[in-house]
Amino acid sequence: MHELGIVFHIINEVEDICREKKLTKVASVTVQFGAVSMILPDYLEDCWKWAADKSGVLKGAALKTETIPAVTACGDCGKTYDTVEFGIVCPFCSSVNTHLVSGQEIMIKELEAC
């Protein structure tokens, strides 16, 4: 379960931002993660509830999540397509000369202070 490590990283980043901006309380944190990032939203939420309550500025803060679509580009025909639906084989030209453009990332989109 790598979700706990991800949550610790998010909490550290948010706490750094709070120190920098002199914020004392966070109401919510919005996190975006890719459709093929292997993150399980339910596990992420459970880990968040446990870990955030141990942080002074994040105690009781909500975690909001948004999924970034997985997009693959074909190196042969140049088209992009939905990775989840078609995998590594280009649906336009059947090439496997493809690479993931988006869908594996995780990032903090915003935090709401109260």
Give the pLDDT of residue 77.
98
**Domains in the chain: ranges and CATH:** 3-113 (3.30.2320.80)
Q: Looking up tokens 């042969």, which residue turns up?
A: 76
Give the pLDDT of residue 68.
97
With 0-12 / 13-18 / 19 or more C-beta atoms within 10 angstroms meaning exposed / middle / buried, residue 72 is buried
Give the pLDDT of residue 67.
96
pLDDT digits (tens, 9 = 90+) for 45-97: 999 999 999 999 999 999 999 999 999 999 999 999 999 999 999 999 999 99
Q: What are phi and psi of 63, to 5 degrees?
A: -105, 120
- What the block records as the tokens of 55 is 């942080």
Confidence of residue 1 (pLDDT cuts 50, 70, 90): low
Give the pLDDT of residue 55.
93
Average pLDDT over the chain, rounded to whole?
A: 96
